[in-house]
Structure 1
Amino acid sequence: MSIASTSRTRIAYVAQSAFDAVPATPTFKTLRRTSGNLRTQKATSVSDEVHADGNIRDEAQTGQDVVGSYAFELVYGDHDDLIANALCGAWTADVLKNGVAEGLFLFEETDDIGGGAFAYARFLNCKVGVLDLAINSRSLVRGSMEIVGTQQTLAAAIVAGATYAAPSNNKPETSVAVGALSVVGLAPTPIVKNVNLRINSNRRVRDSVGSLYSQEHGRGSMDVTGTMEVYFETNALAQAVLDHALGALNLTVGAVTLKKYTIAMPAVRLLDGARQIGGRNDDVMYAIPFRAVYDSGIGASISITRAVA
């Protein structure tokens, strides 16, 4: 055996049909990612007993939760099922909206430990709790998924009958390929330096007496928030912030016809924006946090359309 190398690891996942159900003969999908891993986060409790010898008698284990995150570069088609899980929705006619659907995944992390041997760590009942997307100028479009789950198991062999589907060869998207940008109806459209988006379903642990592990994670309200940084040109955007304006924030990501995404937030509220005056060699910038709220036109706060021309 040898020391495991990150470059020889594989992360794969498969949908579960029910809570605690390990799929039979699963067809895993290989995850395209840049970094990250899952782990078990243990809870413990130290005994408060007082002893004349001054020693602590025990620190008991009281809980286990699966936590972690995976960073990725946005690639058309490769993360669609996980994006849908983050939005608690489902793709319908190539359109995804945030909703109340539940889905579960089994994640498997494989380490090559040499000599033809592999170490497997499997994480059950996983959901994407938080999805972050960062669109920065002169950069790849990058993201991160925070995962919550209930239980980890270790193994030295694959699940019986398991197969592993290779990822696509699609190239990562870049901020250069962002178009059809609209910001709360302003014309001309502000010149944007970066946009960061966070989708948080506010997952929570459901611990219970008699078990180390959570019941299926609870879900709270869907928070769709973000920030954008734009070059300061006129007072138009500053006035919109002062007016607590409500409008659409839309953009399309992708360079290849029918391999693009349009992200639409029809009702975005501009929040505590701030004009930023730097040093003598800096540009004046305007940083604006925002929140997408429910829009009756789409019946949701955010929609993502794929296969856009």
Structure 2
Amino acid sequence: MPIASGSTRRIAYVPEATFGVTPATPSFKTFRTTGGGPRTNKTTDTSEEIRADRNVTDEMHLGQDVAGAYNTEWSYGGFTDDMLEAVLFGSWAANVLKNGTAPKSFTFEERVDLGGGNQSFSRFAGTMINGLSLAIAARSKVTGSVSVMAQKETLDTAIVTGATYAAASTTPISTASANIAALQVAGLPAPKVRSLSLEITNNLRTRPLVGSLYTDSFGYGRFEATGTLEAYFETNDLYQRVLDHGSGVLSFNIGNAANQKYALLLPKIIFGNGERRPGGNTDDVMVSIPFRAVYDQTTDATLQITRGVA
């Protein structure tokens, strides 16, 4: 039998109307990724029975959980719109998305080609988006990850009857060099930023049941958006905000073409335990500042994203 190659993997997803139930004749969308993905984690336990022959009596199967993260390169539209909507528990309205309280679930499907017309499918029903990360670093692609948790994994050798697969979007990959604009930090003169990271999490949790190997559903905690800003040290202004436990707006645009950009707005970030890093003889002085976004009454959100920006 041929050995499967990772380069043949196709990842697709479809929204679920009912948690954990793959729609009949599903219309899948292809997911753009550079690797990673969920895996099933089995929980087992070993019998502690004492036997005169010194053998182990059994290894019991207690449960299964599914979790992991897909690595991505940032691009406009397609799966990005869907994943942003899912991780924010919100819905696009007039091209504006805010974090909310409406969870969404999907069935994710991974296919690998076994050659000779044979295929292997892993389907992850009851998939929810637990988190999303964004990494912007000088002279680099804009990268990130989409963290998922699923109810269960099932295997198959054929597509779901009647399933269709929409091709992935072809919008270009964004870079930190050419496709980040309008960066504002707490109303200060534009700092010279070397890197910026953003981490979003929904703090999902499993709900195990007696009589089942799988979680009943997923509970969710608070929506949290945190990150780290690294900038060249030019004046006291930015570091003074750290010492003052200051706050302010963080916003920037990301995208490659007019009307194919996102504007990310964190209307109120609070500066955390930042530090000035003097370095050595061959280093620049840097300031590294972790931050946390909190609820802003005017925006009525912690994070707001606008798409289709000129």
Work out whether the TM-score is over 0.5: yes
Aligned equivalents of 2:231, 2:69: Cα separation in 1? 29
Q: Which residue in the other structure is 2:229 paired with?
A: 228
Aligned equivalents of 2:133, 2:20: Cα separation in 1? 27
Output the amino acid matched with 2:86: N
Output the amino acid matched with 2:122: A
Aligned equivalents of 2:94, 2:48: Cα separation in 1? 59
Post-superposition Cα deviations, 1:71-92, rounded to whole Å, max 9, x if no partner, equal: 0101100221111111111111
Q: Which residue in the other structure is 1:84 paired with?
A: 85
Output the amino acid matched with 1:247: G
Alignment map for 1:203-218 (pairs within 5 Å): 203-218=204-219
Q: Which residue in the other structure is 2:267 paired with?
A: 266
Post-superposition Cα deviations, 1:242-278, rounded to whole Å, max 9, x if no partner, equal: 1111100000011200000000001100000011122
Alignment map for 1:119-198 (pairs within 5 Å): 119-176=120-177, 177-186=179-188, 188-198=189-199
Aligned equivalents of 1:20, 1:168: Cα separation in 2? 26
Output the amino acid matched with 1:76: Y
Post-superposition Cα deviations, 1:85-123, rounded to whole Å, max 9, x if no partner, equal: 111111111111111111110000001000011100100
Number of residue pairs matched? 308
Offset, 1:68: 1.2
**Superposition TM-score, scaled by structure 2 size:** 0.98
Aligned equivalents of 1:307, 1:11: Cα separation in 2? 26
Aligned alpha-carbon RMSD (Å) = 0.9
Aligned equivalents of 2:54, 2:289: Cα separation in 1? 56
Q: Which residue in the other structure is 1:30 paired with?
A: 30
Structure 2 unmatched runs, 5+: none
Name which of structure 1's ranges 276-285 and 190-199 shifts more when overlaid on structure 2: 276-285
Q: Any runs of at least 4 consecutive aligned residues in structure 1 with deviations exceeding 4 A, and if so which?
A: none
Output the amino acid matched with 1:273: G
Cα pair 2:83 2:129 within 8 Å, conserved: yes
Aligned equivalents of 1:7, 1:193: Cα separation in 2? 33
Q: Which residue in the other structure is 1:16 paired with?
A: 16
Post-superposition Cα deviations, 1:36-85, rounded to whole Å, max 9, x if no partner, equal: 12211111111122222222111111111111110010110022111111
Offset, 1:215: 1.2
Aligned equivalents of 1:6, 1:66: Cα separation in 2? 20
Name which of structure 1's ranges 143-152 and 46-55 shifts more when overlaid on structure 2: 46-55
Q: Which residue in the other structure is 1:285 paired with?
A: 286
Offset, 1:189: 1.3
Aligned equivalents of 2:243, 2:20: Cα separation in 1? 50
Q: Which residue in the other structure is 2:48 paired with?
A: 48
Output the amino acid matched with 1:15: P
Aligned equivalents of 2:242, 2:39: Cα separation in 1? 41
Report the 3-state secondary structure (helix = DSSP H, G, I; strand = E; otherwise coil) of the residue aligned with 2:115.
coil
Q: Which residue in the other structure is 1:73 paired with?
A: 73
Cα pair 2:203 2:220 within 8 Å, conserved: yes
Aligned equivalents of 1:211, 1:19: Cα separation in 2? 16
**Superposition TM-score, scaled by structure 1 size:** 0.98
- Report the identity percentage: 48
Offset, 1:20: 2.4
